[in-house]
Amino acid sequence: MVHNGIEYGDMQLIAEAYDVLKSVGKLSNEELKDVFTEWNKGELLSFLVEITADIFGIKDDKGEGHLVDKVLDKTGMKGTGKWTVQQAADLSIAAPTIAASLDSRFLSGLKEERVIAAKVFNAGGVEDSLSNQVVDKKKLIDDVRQALYASKICSYAQGMNLIRAKSEEKGWDLKLGELARIWKGGCIIRAIFLDRIKKAYDRDANLANLLIDPEFSKEMIERQSAWRRVVCLAVSSGISTPGMSSSLAYFDSYRRDRLPANLVQAQRDYFGAHTYERVDIPGSYHTEWFKLAKHSKI
């Protein structure tokens, strides 16, 4: 099941890479085929990248142009992605990349509504307000490659953490490195990348998160600038990249030693007396926020 959730994330991230390259970079299908073929020779070598390159090269046998452009932009699903996200929620495991891929499939299913919305907002000048970006095509291709790889690390990190949590709950004692080895042997997400994951867990079987593995953390640091450029470019161009964006948010949240969750917890204590902990004194505390706020206004 989690394998399929990771598969959802992989496919969504690849689709977003395609969208940015095609919509912003204006790459043709022939160019896209060449790009994905080249990517499949390096760190992104995988079954999904390989078949993506193949898809861009198929001509439409019932009309002009390429078949991929005639495929309805409405993605089906069997339910495994939903089950993965539900399990993640039940176990309090953050899986934003996988969840974003599921939401994207839901939104793709609203084809009729999206057609109407496009007319409404285009008539209102939304398209006109999104300036055509002038980009260095070669630079964009390399940036997108790096963004795709970094996002992929986040997606797999989420999936592996979910498997570990379920294993601990059930007492299965699953070996995450061994799972990566098995997946590489033959499945939809088989990829050279899985060798790296196996080595990470071989180095540390209790690794809290793939992001902090020495090799993966170094790669995240090296790729974060390109990753941010791609997400910013997509936002300024009106191109949705929920998978890459949520992966970046996951990375940025995980790497910070202090988040704004202190304010959320203060709000919870204010309206619901849910209490809070302090950073300087042990224990559980409750404050009469309303009374103090009212008194300060007198």
Mean pLDDT computed over 143-168: 97
Same domain, 184 and 291: no
Single-letter code of the amino acid located at 259: L
| pTM, rounded to two decimals | 0.94
Are residues 154 and 222 located together in one domain of the fold?
yes
- Residues 154 and 288 occupy one common structural domain: no
Containing structural domain, residue 63: 2-254
Reported as a pLDDT band with limits 50, 70 and 90, residue 166 is: very high
Joined tokens for residue 216: 């993966």
Residues 209/161, Cβ–Cβ less than 8 Å: yes
Who contacts 115 (Cβ-Cβ below 8 Å, separation ≥6)?
A: none
* Residue 80's pLDDT band (cuts 50, 70, 90): confident
Q: What is the pLDDT of residues 93-133, one digit of tens each?
A: 999 999 999 999 999 999 999 999 999 998 887 775 565 77
SS3 192: coil
- What's the mean pLDDT in 32-55? 97
Q: Is residue 71 located within the same domain as residue 87?
A: yes
Q: How far is CA 117 from the centre of its chain?
A: 25
**Residue 132 and residue 41 share a domain:** yes
Provide the CATH number for the domain around residue 282. Answer: 1.20.5.320
Whether residue 214 sits in one domain with residue 134? yes
Please count the structural domains in the chain: 2
Distance of CA 225 to the CA centre of its chain: 17
Burial of 254 (0-12, 13-18, 19+ CB in 10 A): middle
Q: How confident is the model at residue 236 (pLDDT cuts 50, 70, 90)?
A: very high
Residue 282 pLDDT greater than 90, yes or no:
yes
- On the question of pLDDT at 151 being above 90, the answer is yes
Which residues in 143-161 are b (16+ Cβ under 10 Å) and which e?
Answer: bbbbbbbbbbbbbbbbbbb
> Where residue 122 sits, what CATH number does that domain have?
1.10.1040.10
